[in-house]
Amino acid sequence: EPEVTQTPSHQVTQMGQEVILRCVPISNHLYFYWYRQILGQKVEFLVSFYNNEISEKSEIFDDQFSVERPDGSNFTLKIRSTKLEDSAMYFCASSPARQNTEAFFGQGTRLTVV
């Protein structure tokens, strides 16, 4: 069964460093997403990506964040100058259509900023 894969599963970084979280969406999907879940809190939408550009983003997704699809298979989330409050589980998801279809989620990357 096709699945969304994320690497690494865990990432520990020092405050102020840049991190890149990687995702390989399901191959025939066209819409890609990043969500995050701070420990004990709700899963929150960060950004959606379609046709090589951001289609929607939340207030959380500020200039510190960027997304890219560098090679047609990977989908990355870059966090510049990480802060302690960026510590969270980051989920990548993909879907074949924009609406009325399930989004398939990866297993997540647990980011810890120290």
Task: Determine which residue in the list 29, 75, 108, 113 makes contact with another protein, applying CB under 8 A.
Answer: 108
The interface mask with another protein, positions 53-92, x = CB under 8 A, is --xx-x------------------------------x-x-
CB of 27 to another protein, least distance (A): 18
Contact 32, 105 (CB under 8 A): no
Query: Of 16-24, 28-36, 70-78, 80-88, which segment contacts another protein by CB under 8 A?
Result: 28-36
CB of 101 to another protein, least distance (A): 7
Closest CA to 93 of 82, 78, 77: 77
104 near another protein (CB under 8 A): yes
Task: Determine which residue in the list 43, 78, 80, 83 makes contact with another protein, applying CB under 8 A.
Answer: 43
Give the 3-state secondary structure of 73-103. Answer: CCEEEEECCCCHHHCEEEEEEEECCCCCCCC
The residue behind tokens 């939408």 is 45
110 near another protein (CB under 8 A): yes
Q: What is the distance between the alpha carbons of residues 27 and 30, in angstroms, rounded to a whole number? A: 8
Contact 75, 32 (CB under 8 A): yes
